[in-house]
Amino acid sequence: MTYFTTFYLSRILGIRVYDTNNKVVGIVKDLLVETDLVTHGNPAGRPRVSAVKLKIKKAEKCFSFTNFRIEKINKRLKVYCNKLNEISEEETHNGLFLGDAILDKQIVDLNGRKLVRVNDVRLVALSTETYAIAVDVGIEGLLRRIGISRPVNAMFSWINISVPAKFILWDDVEAINFSNLNIRLSKTYSKLNTLHPSDLADIIEELGKTASSNVFSSLDEEKAADVLEELETDTQIHIIESLPVEKMADVLEKMPADEVADILDVLEDEKAELLLNEMEAESSQEVRDILEYDDNTVGSIMNTEVLWFNENKTVGEVIDEIREKQPEADMLYNLFVTDDNDELVATFSLRDLVVSQPSVALHQIMKTNPIYLHDDQEIDEIAELISKYNLLAIPVVDISHQLQGMVIIDDVVEDLINKRRTNR
C-alpha cells in the first residue's frame, strides 16, 4: 500500500521538527521545490520538494528534504528528521521557495486565462517524495491562513452552507514574479507561450511595471509581436521604453508595418528613430513609408504584406508558393494579380484556389476590375466600401495604379473604435 499524506503549506510553516529522539531540532520556515520538472520523474510535471528552510536558534539554514518525514496524527501535522544535511545557498538557486515566491503572490491561471492571488499551496507527501500539486485561490484558503477555517466551516455547516474552495492544479499555474530569484525566464514562463496573445496581453496589463516587462521579455519574438499588437497604448510604450532597443527592434520586425507605424507614431521621435535604425533595412523602410502618410489616409493603416502573382501562374504553383512562405492568416483574406509593372490587374480568393485543379492558370479564375482604394484616400471612405461589397480586405494602389498593400477589415474596425473613444 502506498503511503501518502496531503497537507497545506500554511499548516506546515512555523511548526516544529523533531529528531528520532523526539527532540526539537528547528522550526519550518519554508519549503523549496525544484523548478526543473524534467528530473526525478515528477508526476504530471509537479515540482518535488527538495529542501526545507529551518530556523535553528536564531539562524535560518536550508537542509536536504531527503531525511524528512511528514505524518498526520489526529489531524495535526508532525515533521520528523533523522539527519540534517545542510545545503549551500548556491544549491537553492535553481529552486523555488513556496512561501516566499508563491504564497500571497499573483499567478497566472492558465486554464482560466487570468491573474489570481495564491492563498495557500496544497502538497502531497508520498512514501519517498513530497510534491506541490495545487494552489488554493479560494476563500477557504484565506480563512485557513488566518487560522479560522475550522470554526467558520463548523458554523456554516449548521445551515448547510460550505465555504467556497477553489484549487488550480499545478499544471495550470504559472508564477509571474521571480524578480528576486536567480531563475532563467525562458524556463520560468514557458507555459505562458500556450496562451492566446489577447489573453496574455490582458494579463500583462494587470501586472506591475517590473513584472510586465519581465513576462514580455521572456516571450519568443513571434509571440511577443502578437502580444504587443494587442496591448493598450500606454502598456506598449512602457514595454518599449523598459526593454533594450535591440530586443524591441527584433520584435517589431515580426509585426506588420502598419502596426509598427501606429506604435512608433506615439513614441518620442528620438526613440522611434533609434528603433527604426536598429531594424533591418527592408522592414524599416516599409514602416518609414507608412509614417509619411497623413493619419487620416488609407495609406496610414494599410498592411504592406500582401501576396501577388502573375496571371500565367497555375493554381498548383500558387499553392506551393503559399506553403513555402507560410503567411499570416490575414494575408490570405485577398490575393492579387499584378502585371510586369506591379500594377493591380485582378484579385482571387483562397476558395478559388482550393476548388480549382492544380493545372488551371490564374487568368482563368481571377476577377478583373477589382474594387480598390487609393493610398491617399480618406479612411472614412473605407467602411462604406467594405459594407457595400461585403469584403474582408481591399487592395490599395498609388497614383500609378501600382499595388501598395491592402486594408483589412480588422484595421478599419480598430480605427473606428479608436476614433469613437477619442470623441467621447
Say which DSSP state 46 is in. P
Closest CA to 337 of 317, 359, 367: 367
Closest CA to 117 of 51, 42, 173, 52: 173
3-state secondary structure of 419: helix
Chain centroid to Cα 335, Å, comes to 31
Residue type, 323: R
Q: Beta strands 120-126 and 130-136: pairing type?
A: antiparallel
Q: Domains along the chain?
A: 6-171 (2.30.30.240), 195-292 (1.25.60.10), 308-422 (3.10.580.10)
**Distance between first and last Cα of the chain:** 68
Q: How far is CA 1 from CA 126, 250, 293, in A?
A: 11, 56, 74
Write out the H or E segment, with its range, that includes residue 236: helix 233-242
pLDDT tens-place values along the chain, 424 residues long: 345 788 989 889 999 999 989 999 999 999 999 865 433 444 445 788 999 999 998 899 999 999 999 988 887 889 999 999 999 988 888 788 998 888 888 777 666 667 778 888 989 888 788 998 888 887 776 677 666 555 555 555 555 555 556 777 777 666 555 443 333 333 345 566 777 888 888 888 887 787 788 888 888 898 999 999 999 989 999 999 999 999 999 999 999 888 899 899 889 999 999 999 999 999 999 999 999 998 888 998 898 889 999 999 999 999 999 999 998 888 888 999 999 999 999 999 999 999 999 999 999 999 999 999 999 998 888 877 877 888 888 999 999 999 999 988 877 766 555 554 455 5
User: Which residue pairs, CB below 8 angstroms and at least 24 apart, start in 328-331?
Assistant: 328/256, 330/303, 330/393, 330/408, 330/410, 331/303, 331/305, 331/306, 331/307
Q: How many CB atoms neighbour CB 7 within 10 A?
A: 18
Which residue shows C-alpha cell 520560468?
A: 188
Q: Beta strands 68-73 and 367-368: pairing type?
A: unpaired
For residue 119, what pLDDT is reported? 87
Closest CA to 370 of 352, 351, 396: 396
User: Which residue pairs, CB below 8 angstroms and at least 24 apart, start in 393-400?
Assistant: 393/330, 393/333, 393/334, 394/334, 395/306, 395/334, 395/336, 395/344, 395/347, 395/370, 396/298, 396/299, 396/302, 396/372, 397/343, 397/344, 397/372, 397/373, 398/374, 399/374, 400/343
Q: How far apart are CA 80 and CA 66, in angstroms?
A: 11
Q: How far is CA 212 from CA 11, 206, 248, in A?
A: 32, 8, 15
Structure pTM? 0.62
For residue 40, what pLDDT is reported? 41
